[in-house]
Amino acid sequence: MAELPNPQENLSLDTFLRGLWTENPVFAMLLGMCPVLAVTNSTMNAIAMGLATTFVLVCSSLLISLLRNWIPKQVRIASYIIIIATFVTIVDYGIQAISLELYAALGAFIQLIVVNCVILGRAEAYASKQRLHTTLVNSLGMGAGFTIALLALGTVREILGSGSILGVALFGEGFQPWVVMILPPGGFFVLGAWLLLFNWLRLRKERKVMEQSGVAANAG
Amino acid sequence: MQDESLYFIFLNAAVVNNFVLALFLGICPFLGVSAKKDTAWNMGLAVIFVMLVSSMSAYGINWLLTELDLLFLRLICYIAVIASAVQLVEMFVKRYSPALFRSLGIFLPLITTNCAILGLALFQTAKEYDFIQSLIYALGAGAGFMLALMLMAGLREKLELARVPSVSQGAAMSLMLAGLLSLAFMGFAGLGGSHG
Amino acid sequence: MSIKVELQTQSQPGPGTQVAPSWPMLRTLAGIAILSGLLVVLVYQATKPIITENERILTEQAVFEVLPGAVSKVDFVLTEQGLAPAGEGAVGMAVFVGFGADAELRGVAFPGAARGYQDVIQFLFGYDPACECIVGSKVLRSTETPGLGDKIDTDPVFLENFVALDASLNPAGTALANPIVLVAHGTKTAPWQIDGISGATISGKAMARAANDAAERFVPSIRRDLAKLAAAAP
């Protein structure tokens, strides 16, 4: 995050979109990998985890942005952690109230949102310096980016590993599910494959740019 | 409530349900610090140490909060106490053993945000382990973390000499390797399953 | 207020940092601690009745699933002295007595657990005193391999074993007459044997062990206190 916008950024479309692509917390910055790998064995879990993380991210960023002038520098990390832990506890009880089955499926990973580096990273790098409305938009973007990444893994793993999507079977009786994909190794493989795809796209783009500039140089 | 043998708890935490390769805890340091074997070794030591400390504090907090009937504060207390415990340990080590501090020093603060540590505290509470069981569980989890880290570092050191296609360099390659390791660790799953 | 104390230890400036006036730091941390405590307690109070209700529905569903014909349940706990109604200071493992629409005792559901392939598997078994057998089973929590180990909860042929699994007691009424065991597929000869399942050998064995241990623990007390249980009809 070298190009950190500081001092205060003006609200633009980019404030939101950055979280989706160029600074996508999972695919571009490789943050918060634990829940990404652990709970993405079905689409439903991925959606629930994404929404829970987004909620914590947005709420804690807002509160931190609101309090940014009152929190002394020396105790800021401690304050951030307490604020984040508060919202995680709230989400924890909220999910238990909504559905205990979902709660059982996500297990300890809801409480582990506390140590998700995306949230602390955002608090430190963005919310503690920016105004309320830009923080809101930016954290929504980051949350959406995180959710999309979870979905990208969750759907692929559910389709390959159980032959279904959101519990609805996609293939006929003859489909033999690729069980390893919903087991732990599958998480590593699918995330690795996504990164390979993104690397390939990036390299191809770079090569195109190089070729074009080469052509331009020759012509000149 | 739990009557599992200590041997089994250790084995379970170290290989069967390895924190990194089966439960996906502590992936960040696993990918970040696994490039060299000696840093991996130091990181592993630091993690085992911190796990023991936080396991003990988590046991204490859980007992205290159960007595006071304040269980909804558990998560907040765990994270606050683990973070301060790590800081205290860091100061203590720096004061009394500068040599150890030099080898562990930079890794200690990193560990606070390692989800394996908080995960350990949460799991030992969920499994209702007693004090000794908790300690053994922490030891097993730490050993398992170290094992995974060392294996990964060994693989990556070898890989530096190999010619890898440019597309798959970096994190993608590490993840594929981790996937293979995780696949291998699945073979441990039946260990101890069929006794009795 | 325990958080506040811990926070203060954490807020001490580490070696090397400038010593700043501590009053604003304390004020901030105390303020945040109070705020967070307030929020958490509010949410806890608001969600607690819903969560308790959810838990009740979930157990009820499980109990009715393992006890065919049951429409209501009464909770008991297994204490040192035998079965006692839950909620009167009695401590022990929970047992659920199921009653049919006619207030007749339909059976008793009790928990069982055993180490499976990956981790401990938790079950709920339904026991019918009329036929002295286990009439239903349900996996409550398992991390068994999908497609292999989890067959113990989905394979209809395997689950046939638990429709009338013999759990009769010895003449003295202290233990099972015949231990519940898993046998190789196709070699089941006695009603207390469980026909094995290929692909889920270890999980199947775990299930047999859990059923046997749970029956050994609960069935003698259930038989002894049967009149008491039947009298508890809602």
Residues of C in contact with A55 (CB under 8 A): none
Pick B111 or C113 by higher pLDDT. Answer: C113
Distance CA C109, CA C63 (A): 6
Residue in A with minimal Cα distance to C58: A100
> Best of A24, A27, A29, A33 to disrupt the B interface by mutation (most B CBs within 10 Å)?
A33
Buried residues in C26-37 as b, exposed as e (16+ CB within 10 A): bebbeebbeebb
Q: Which residues of chain A have pLDDT under 70?
A: 1-7, 215-220
Per the domain annotation, does B167 fall within a domain?
no
- Cβ–Cβ under 8 Å, residues B87 and A72: no
What is the reported pLDDT for C72?
A: 82
Predicted model pTM: 0.81
The whole-number average pLDDT for the span C202-212 is 84
The answer, yes or no, to whether residue C77 has pLDDT greater than 60, is yes
Buried residues in A80-94 as b, exposed as e (16+ CB within 10 A): bbbbbbbbbbbbbbb
Averaged pLDDT score across all residues of chain C: 79
Each of the 196 residues of chain B gets a pLDDT tens digit; together they read 345 678 888 888 888 888 888 888 888 778 877 778 887 888 888 888 888 988 999 999 999 998 888 888 888 888 888 878 777 777 877 888 787 777 665 666 667 667 888 889 988 888 888 899 999 999 999 999 999 999 999 998 888 888 888 777 778 888 888 999 998 888 787 665 444 3
**Could you say which of A74, A78, A89 has the minimum Cβ distance to residue C7?**
A78
Per the domain annotation, does B186 fall within a domain?
no
Pairing between strand C181-183 and C193-195?
parallel
Q: Which of A63, C58, C93, A35 is nearest to B115 (CA)?
A: A35
- Cβ–Cβ under 8 Å, residues A38 and A110: no
Q: What is the pLDDT of residues C151-185, one digit of tens each?
A: 777 788 888 888 878 888 888 777 788 888 888 87
* DSSP state string for C171-199: TTSSSBSS--EEE-TT---STTEEE--TT
Per the domain annotation, does B39 fall within a domain?
no
Per the domain annotation, does B139 fall within a domain?
yes
Pairing between strand C82-85 and C193-195?
unpaired
> Can you name the residues that pair with C84 across neighbouring β-strands?
C77
Per the domain annotation, does B119 fall within a domain?
yes
Q: What is the pLDDT of residues A19-62, one digit of tens each?
A: 787 788 888 777 778 788 888 888 888 999 999 999 999 999 99
What is each CA distance from C215 to C91, C108, C111, C142, in whole angstroms? 19, 11, 9, 20
* DSSP state string for B116-181: HHHHHHHHHHHTT--HHHHHHHHHHHHHHHHHHHHHHHHHHHHHTTS---GGGTTHHHHHHHHHHH
Domain ranges within chain C, ordered by starting residue: 1-10+19-66, 67-231
- Cβ–Cβ under 8 Å, residues C199 and C148: yes
Contact yes or no for B75 and A188 at CB 8 A:
no
Q: Which of A27, A56, A74 is nearest to A116 (CA)?
A: A56
Contact yes or no for A75 and C58 at CB 8 A:
no
Residues of B in contact with A189 (CB under 8 A): 175-176, 179
What is the reported pLDDT for A217?
A: 63
Structure tokens at B45: 């030591």
Per the domain annotation, does B69 fall within a domain?
yes
Burial class (CB in 10 A: 0-12, 13-18, 19+), C204: buried
What is the reported pLDDT for B50?
A: 85
Q: Which of B63, B60, B171, B46 is nearest to B112 (CA)?
A: B46
Distance CA A18, CA A138 (A): 8
What is the reported pLDDT for A89?
A: 92
Residue in C with minimal Cα distance to B88: C10
> Can you name the residues that pair with B139 across neighbouring β-strands?
none
Could you give the angle at the alpha carbon of A10 between the alpha carbons of A7 and A14, nearest 5°?
Answer: 115
Distance CA C10, CA C13 (A): 8
Shortest distance between the Cα of B144 and any Cα of chain A, in A, equals 16
Structure tokens at A61: 């960023």
Domain ranges within chain A, ordered by starting residue: 13-168+177-207
**Could you say which of A185, A187, A199 has the minimum Cβ distance to residue B172?**
A199
Helices (H), B69-130: 74-96, 98-104, 107-112, 115-126
Pick C120 or A187 by higher pLDDT. Answer: A187
* Total domains present in chain B: 1
Shortest distance between the Cα of C97 and any Cα of chain B, in A, equals 22
Per the domain annotation, does B158 fall within a domain?
no
What is the reported pLDDT for C62?
A: 87
Identify residue A205 by its one-letter amino acid code. Answer: K
Distance CA B172, CA A197 (A): 9
The answer, yes or no, to whether residue C6 has pLDDT greater than 60, is no
What is the reported pLDDT for C89?
A: 66
Give the list of residues 6+ apart from residue C115 with CB closer than 8 angstroms, or none: B4, B8, B192, B193, B196, C121, C206
